[in-house]
Amino acid sequence: MVLIYWVMALPYRIGIGAAWFAGLILDILEGSILGLNAMALVIIAYVTLSLHLRLRMFSSLQQAGLVLALVGLNLTLSHWLQIITGQTVASNLMFLMAALTSAVIWPSLFQLLRQIRRSFDVH
C-alpha cells in the first residue's frame, strides 16, 4: 500500500525501479526466492503508474476499491509464483483477507502519508 501511494503521489521519482528494489529487499527479508516479490511489485507499480492521474481524481472510497484490487492482485501473483516454484503454501484463499484489510486501512494511511509528504515538502 505504501508503494501504491508513493507511485501515485510521485510517479516521476518512485516507479518500477523502486518497486523492483523494494521487492528484492522483501525477498531477502522473507527468505523467499529472489525476484518473487519483486516481480509482483513491479506489476503493481506498472498498473499504478498507468492509472496515477485517474487515481488522484478518485474519491477515497474509489481509491480503496482499487487498492483492494491491486493488493489482491499482488497477493494472488505471489501465491501463484510460490506454487510454481514449489514452496509450501496453504490451499485456501484466506491470504486474500489482507487485501480487504488494506482497503479498509487505505483512507487513513493515505491521509497519514500525505501529511508526512507535505510536512517534509516533498514534491
Extents of the domains making up the chain: 2-116
Q: Using one digit for the tens of pLDDT, what is the confidence trace for 66-110?
A: 999 999 999 998 888 888 888 877 778 898 999 999 999 999 999
pLDDT of the residue at 91: 78
pLDDT of the residue at 108: 97
Give Cβ neighbours of residue 105 (< 8 Å, ≥ 6 apart): 1
What pTM did the predictor assign?
0.90
